[in-house]
Amino acid sequence: MQIVVDLTRCQGYAQCAFLAPEMFEMHGEEALLYHPAVPEGQRERVRQAAAACPVQAILLGEEVSPGAR
Ligand code: SF4
- The pLDDT of residue 18 is 97
Domains, the chain, with CATH or none? 2-61 (3.30.70.20)
| Atom 8 (ligand 1) nearest CA | 10
- Among residues 22, 2, 18, 1, the alpha carbon closest in space to that of 53 is found at 18
Amino acid at 28: G
How far apart (Å, rounded) are the C-alpha atoms in residues 49 and 64? 21
- Cβ of residue 19 lying under 6 Å from some atom of ligand 1: no
- Cβ of residue 55 lying under 6 Å from some atom of ligand 1: yes
Q: 68 CA distance to ligand 1 centroid (A)?
A: 31
pLDDT digits (tens, 9 = 90+) for 6-64: 999 999 999 999 999 999 999 988 789 999 999 999 999 999 999 999 999 999 998 65
Statement: residue 4 has pLDDT above 70: yes
